[in-house]
Structure 1
Amino acid sequence: MTIFDRITEVQEFLGKNREHAQSPEEKELFLLAIDALWFVWRNGQSYEFESYRKDVESKAPPRVIASFNTRDEAEAWLSAQPEPPDLACVLIADEYHVVLSSRDRSRRSLAPDSGLEYYIEEMTKNGLPPAVATFNTREEADAWFNGQSDPLAQTVIQIGGEHHLAVYYRNINRRAIFPFSIVERLHARRKRREQEGAGE
């Protein structure tokens, strides 16, 4: 079944259930979902939506729409966008950032994002997952990862005794490796907030 068939099937399902909605608010919610699918279809984003669904099903880390080596490159890209995305994530030097833009598109910025930190924290809440490959150096890990013709969306590996997450962003054909230790930044921010709250 193609993505177009699936979208049509879901729209029909939503339409039937909208008829039996108990309140005007529920009917509006069904209509919103139907319109969202029409938006995907009519804006030529059905294949992109299909790719997004594959990421969701593979339980991949938060999706990014672009990757840059430097903040200057990212700022130049954002300035050149006639219709900048809002609340989408990008990588800058393998750090997550979220794109923020005003409705009139006059203001746009890039802010650090903690989505991956929360993602890894959730992965490790019951202990460290097993690593599928072990390397002594980052160079060895990079060579292994780059040598894969069709990598998984994510793979837990170990480099020099530390767990890392090797992530393949299929939508932009980008590979990145993140140390699990980035979760410590999240813990440090929480601790600061607790200390600030206790000091009031």
Structure 2
Amino acid sequence: MKDPMVLSDAQQVIGRRWSEGQTQEQARIFGLARDTLDFISATGQWYSFLDFREGHEVRSSTMTPEECAPELRELLSKTERFFRSLLDDPASAGEQDAIRAILDALRFISSTCQYESLAGFLERVESNAPPMVVAAFETSAQAESWLRNHPSPPVFADVLIGDRYHDVAYDRESNFRRLPWNRDLERYLGWLEMNDPPVASASFATREEAQAWLRAQSHPPLRTWVLIAGEFHLAVYHPNVNHRALYPLSMALRDA
């Protein structure tokens, strides 16, 4: 596997330029670059991105660019122009490789016409929704079968098995495949409790009642707090996999 730290290095370039005094336009440009890199990781497209950077053809959306989000297309173009201008900036000495990675990430989205998927990801970011998952399974056996038969597993992405998050570990050269569990959800719940203290939007006597309510929502929110038998739960909708879940706040990892 080529060094995936290239995405981390690119994020550091963005972080060094982020400041409290930046203009709103700069914030939009830096934010889009940051979120585009995160999108590639969260959707497990590292190998597709690597192939794109090496000049190989990658599968694109069936939609034409004209059908895709025009405002996002315009902002992507503006962001690309900004980072392209940094390549010749003396202040960017030593950062050219990371800047090229940012430019390639922006071009990857445009070339594969993933505007709508990226727009959905940006909505999740703005809503402080739970970490994105690329698949959801009831049992480990289902997940293992999916991983075993997948032609190109989404490396670095998260999947749900029951109510637990798991990493997709995959190495293309050795065909190594695993689904180790992680604590992304628990850390997220701890962070959310601190930054958006729970206020219930609905209350239920039993989990079954809450599940029925969540299933009945035609357009469920990405996340909302509910009470079940007096205990806070986060009701979550993962639209990209059409999965609805209830996570008890008691799962949260809190800073000591």
Shorter-chain TM-score: what band? 0.7 to 0.9
Query: Alpha-carbon deviation of 1:57?
Result: 1.1
- d(CA) in 1 for partners of 2:177, 2:234: 30
Unpaired runs of 5+ residues, structure 1, are 192-200
Query: Alpha-carbon deviation of 1:124?
Result: 2.0
The code of the aligned residue for 1:56 comes to: V
- d(CA) in 2 for partners of 1:21, 1:37: 23
- d(CA) in 2 for partners of 1:54, 1:29: 26
1:5 match: 74
- d(CA) in 1 for partners of 2:77, 2:143: 37
Provide the secondary structure at the position in 2 that maps to 1:149: coil
CA RMSD of aligned residues (A): 2.0
- d(CA) in 2 for partners of 1:88, 1:103: 15
Contact 2:86 / 2:92 at 8 angstroms: preserved in 1?
Answer: no
| 1:1-200 alignment runs, 5 A limit | 1-104=70-173, 106-125=175-194, 128-183=197-252, 186=253
Unpaired runs of 5+ residues, structure 2, are 1-69
Provide the secondary structure at the position in 1 that maps to 2:240: helix
TM-score of the pair, normalised by structure 2: 0.68
Query: Alpha-carbon deviation of 1:105?
Result: 5.3
Comparing 124-133 and 144-153, the one that deviates more:
124-133
Contact 1:96 / 1:115 at 8 angstroms: preserved in 2?
Answer: yes
Provide the secondary structure at the position in 2 that maps to 1:118: helix
The structure showing larger relative contact order (alpha-carbon pairs under 8 Å, at least 6 residues apart) is 2
Query: Alpha-carbon deviation of 1:21?
Result: 4.6
The code of the aligned residue for 1:11 comes to: E
Deviations 1:83-114 (A, max 9, x none): 11111001111211111111425101001110
Aligned-pair identity (%): 37
Structure with more strand by fraction: 1
Decide whether aligned partners of structure 1 residues 9 and 23 sit closer, same or farther in structure 2, where only a CA change above 3 A counts: closer
The code of the aligned residue for 2:99 comes to: F
Query: Alpha-carbon deviation of 1:127?
Result: 8.7
